[in-house]
Amino acid sequence: MFKQANKRQILKDVHDENLWLVGKRKSRRSVASLKSSKDNSSQRKWVQLSPIFVAMGGAFVAVVVTLWFEFSAQKLNDSMIDVQHSAQDYSTGAQSPLVYTAGFNDLNDAALLAPVLPHERPVIENFKPVSLPNASSPSLPGLFVDEGVFEDLEAFELRQATVTPENYHALAGAGIPLAQLFGLNVKTIVIDPGHGGKDPGAVGASVYEKDIALDVAKRLRDRLLEYEGYRVLMTREVDETMALNDRVNFANANSADLFISIHVNYFPGDQKSFIETYYFGPTDDSKIAELAARENNNSHYPYAEFKEIILKIGDTLKSQESKQLAYAVQRNLHKQMHKIDKGTRDHGIKAAPFVVLLGLDAPGILAEVSCLCNRDEEQRLKTSEHRESIASFLEKGIVTYLNKNTRVGGKRNGEKEKLAKAQQ
């Protein structure tokens, strides 16, 4: 049994944690009466969202807020043109962000929405409650949300948008998802073939990890380029030595939105194939630490810089996104590889301190797509068909992730059937 003192403290903690939930208790009504009456508008308090992203085009200003939930927005003054949001895909149940856009004709009105912090994610301290503006004081332009939304602030995501007065109505009214319109989706995918040049990576009986990784990466790039609206880049396209920090710098310099590092596993003494996918994080597993040390061998990061980068681990959203991406890739990859070789084991997704994932601004994963310690698998890797298959499995995993988190652009003409096949 736990100590009474602890119990009392725990109850207090639960109570303190939950204060916000009960501050607006409704008057007691019966369940039956509530079923017939759902109007709770009188219960709402409103708070101003600040900062929110403002994109300016001439005298026209669009305010863009991306949320993972719906909220009520209202037109605050005459200069506010409209408040619109993108449609949720109810048919598939896919979760995608709702992009709320408010257009203003008057720059001065919109300028009150300070401070503007593009590229930065607001945290709870950036939001301050204000009272609901009434009709006689329309001097607070902006978007206002129910105060309960405070609890969901981590879901906020702000991105830069380019809007002009000329295209705003045309584009917004054309039924184009605003997430796409404002470039809120993943746009740049960087594929990183592991090792290269003097660094062969894992060495099988007759193949090198660096060659397999490069070939699969190229095939994956070609497949992803078939989707509209994506820029797919590779850290290396030939057999060349490339330091890990150069790969990271390449991804960051190109404003990568996703980073996929492709590797092939090898564990001495283990004859079975296994698939595993890593995202960045600390580990206590000595085997993973050993693997990370091997993969980090060519990092060229000075110790001080490495330490500084470690501090970036606090970026939880990136970590969560990376984990989701790792999960989607691992699941699809293992499922398909298992069909080819029933002995292929699923080692799951794991957190590991790979340097190549550490300094990234974008979510990233390191996928060990195959295993050179298995002789049969090594033989299969020599065939272009198998490497093409692996690329398609990776493609499917990435598409699954993108479908869950953003809207994937359609494939170009003639490729939609291929996409459908990949998603099966």
Partner 1 sequence: MAKKKSSPKRSSKLRVGIDLGTSRSAISASNGKRKFVESYVGWPKDFISEKVLGKSVLFGQEALDNRLSLELCRPLEHGVIKEGTSRDEEAVNQLISHLIELAEIQEGQEIYSVVGVPAESLRANKLAIKRAVEDYVDSLMVVSEPFAAAYGRGVLNNAIVIDIGAGTVDFCIMHGSMPTDDDQRTLVTAGDYIDEHLYAMLKEKYPESDFNLNMVRKFKEEHSYIGKTKGKIEVEIPVGGKIMVHDITEEMGRACESILPAVLEHTMELIARFDPEYQGLVRQNIILAGGGSQIKGLDKAIEASLKEDGLCKVSVVDDPIFASADGALALAKDMPDDYWQNMLDE
Residues near partner 1, by CB under 8 A: 1-3, 6-7, 9-15, 17-23, 25-26, 28, 30-31, 34-35, 38, 68-70, 88, 90, 93, 95-96, 98, 148-149, 151-152, 154-155, 284-285, 327, 335, 339, 346-350
- 37/89 Cα distance (integer angstroms): 28
Q: How far is the CB of 147 from partner 1 (least distance, A)?
A: 10
Q: What's the closest the beta carbon of residue 276 comes to partner 1, in angstroms?
A: 9
**Rounded to whole angstroms, how far apart are CA atoms 128 and 137?**
18
Q: List the structure tokens of 163.
A: 């809007």
E runs forming strands in 68-187: 80-85, 98-104, 144-146
Q: Work out how close the CB of 225 gets to partner 1 at its nearest, in angstroms, rounded to a whole number.
A: 29
Considering the complex, what minimum distance in angstroms separates the CB of residue 338 from partner 1?
Answer: 9
Write the single-letter amino acid at 40: N
Residue type, 313: I
Give the SS3 label for residue 283. Answer: coil
* DSSP code of residue 413: T
Q: Kindly state the tokens that stand for 116.
A: 């503007």
- Smaller CB distance to partner 1: residue 284 or 385? 284
Of the candidates 143, 71, 83, 81, which has an alpha carbon nearest to the alpha carbon of residue 106? 81
Torsion of CA 371, 372, 373, 376, to 10 degrees: 90
Cβ atoms 401, 325 nearer than 8 A: yes
Residue 152 amino acid letter: D
How far apart CA 399 and CA 395 sit, in angstroms, is 6
CB of 83 to partner 1, least distance (A): 17
20 or 114: CB nearest partner 1: 20
Q: How far is the CB of 78 from partner 1 (least distance, A)?
A: 30
The gap from C-alpha 86 to its chain's centroid, in whole angstroms, comes to 19
Query: Smallest distance, Å, CB 353 to partner 1?
Result: 14
Q: Which is nearer to partner 1, 49 or 113 (CB)?
A: 49
Nearer to partner 1, 78 or 152 (CB): 152
Query: Rounded to 10 degrees, what is the CA torsion of 409, 413, 417, 418?
Result: -70
**Which H helix or E strand runs over 63?**
strand 60-67
The answer to whether 365 and 279 are in contact (CB under 8 A) is: yes
Residue number, 14 or 304, with CB nearest to partner 1: 14
Kindly state the DSSP code that residue 11 receives in the 8-state scheme.
Answer: H
| Minimum CB distance to partner 1, residue 278 (Å) | 12
Cβ closest to partner 1, residue 15 vs residue 198: 15
Quick one: tokens of 388? 């093409």
Q: Which is nearer to partner 1, 13 or 222 (CB)?
A: 13
Nearer to partner 1, 30 or 42 (CB): 30
CB 232 within 8 A of CB 224: yes
250 vs 274, which CB is nearer to partner 1?
274
Minimum gap (Å) between residue 79 Cβ and partner 1: 29
Q: Which two tokens stand for residue 202?
A: 């894992």
